[in-house]
Structure 1
């Protein structure tokens, strides 16, 4: 199997060398392939499956550190379709990750890193770049048959509203062991068939024809249908 990492989300200061050397965070993350095209074959139970770049919605990242975050939230997909035009977004991908990172013993609530690469235009929601004034709200829940993620990320000039669901019978529990040998995540859902919608906005200066003072308003860039989303959610002791 080969992989072609086409789009990258570099979280920047959150995984910079000084913070790595200081082991500032319990968990670090780098997303080298938020859109990755895989090619090759997989043999499972004696049956051969061909993987082609043309219909591969692959992903590749790296986590490292001393422990995992709880809650753990991760969403990613490059199988995106514009609801405005009905066209496939072939140069687009999004990723969201994090939950409750710790800087030393201090936990940071509601901290997700997010990015959308929309047909060549980057939108970033990165709390480690404090000057961007990124705000995040998220809620994850389990229903009888689904796991559901709702995330709203916003800067003064852009906003991304994401809602994804995945069927439980198409998911599994990841067996992650921390470097100290403990296994704290014993209920961490993981799937690759999440689907839903993203609404992407940018701030637009609206000029009034009647001479009233111009004002900033949210302008919908696109409403996007998401398929084949990678998705994870779990909390310790749940």
Structure 2
């Protein structure tokens, strides 16, 4: 991992973002069940929200209750009439989840002052959890009673533990950097090794089969709408061979366009606003129901002067999670992300030659990580 990438992976929320900002470290990988051999896909996430608003306590802006005291009702009514915010979100969240059949994720929350950042090692420690550029260790759990008492946690009940080593093979350290939105693919192809346990069921992460990915997002909010597709496991449908040192990651919308970083064959292809001229089109739609299952389809098309890239990803809706976030800036709003890693699809890469195009690669994609999100009202 380069020194620049290590700096990119470090804690960033300062200045304006201390009281109006989010920072998210995302990790995606596949693993095989020790008992059945079944392959499953997983995510881990560390998120910091408005850390300096209430560093000594966790606060949530979307506390969902069925009963309120008269005093609480009066306070809520006054806040709505005066335009004031009752409470802004401020906490550190650790989330972990598994996609596929019986998909689930668990969330644990911590006070900001519980976060210990080591500048020399570029590592973050929380009670029971450790995150660095080379290691991930942790345990999060939530009882069913606590799940029912705290709907604002947006979490399933259960226990997930992990002990993983990380090696990032391909990165794009320039990323997309703007004042309000920043995204760095710190590991568009990442190798994980170790183990993950979900409710006592152990899964081994094989570095040769993990389809790993990592990135970092920080700023005042997630892009709206939010779309993400990344993959590093591809097989050429032209030669029949697995494509080595090949990956892509796409995210947006940034300035009304998708950004993309692609490493395929010997080329690194970048689509970033302000750095080159290009067009991007995308859709995320539900497919007509078939005999198997409902499916979602992500479609992306990117064009610049030299290349055309078309990507289609398909995912069974039954394999997906709906991850829910509080808005860091707008009281009473939540942000839902529909996502999965249990996916398949195709990639086509064309090179423009005068007025014609040449197909450079046509590949099958497996274990792509996909997300789609939009903001919603908590009262909707």
What does 1:1-238 correspond to in 2, within 5 Å?
1-12=164-175, 14-15=176-177, 19=178, 23=179, 25=180, 27-99=181-253, 101=254, 108-109=255-256, 111-129=257-275, 132-143=276-287, 145-180=294-329, 182=331, 184-204=333-353, 215-237=354-376
Mapped to 2, the partners of 1:155 and 1:184 lie a distance apart of 37
Deviation at 1:114, TM superposition (A): 0.8
Report the number of matched residues: 209
1:104 is matched with: none
- Aligned Cα root-mean-square deviation (Å): 1.9
Deviation at 1:181, TM superposition (A): 7.0
Deviation at 1:133, TM superposition (A): 1.1
Residue aligned with 1:169, SS: helix
Normalised by the size of structure 1, how large is the TM-score? 0.81
2:38 is matched with: none
1:208 is matched with: none
Residue aligned with 2:208, SS: helix
Q: Tell me if the contact between 1:42 and 1:51 (Cα under 8 Å) persists in the aligned partners.
A: yes
Query: Whose radius of gyration is greater, 1 or 2?
Result: 2
Give deviations 1:61-89, integer Å, cap 9, x for gaps: 01111111121100001110101001001
Normalised by the size of structure 2, how large is the TM-score? 0.52
Mind listing any 5+ residue stretches in structure 1 that lack a counterpart? 102-107, 205-214
Residue aligned with 1:218, SS: strand
Q: Tell me if the contact between 2:186 and 2:214 (Cα under 8 Å) persists in the aligned partners.
A: yes
1:210 is matched with: none
Mapped to 2, the partners of 1:10 and 1:202 lie a distance apart of 25
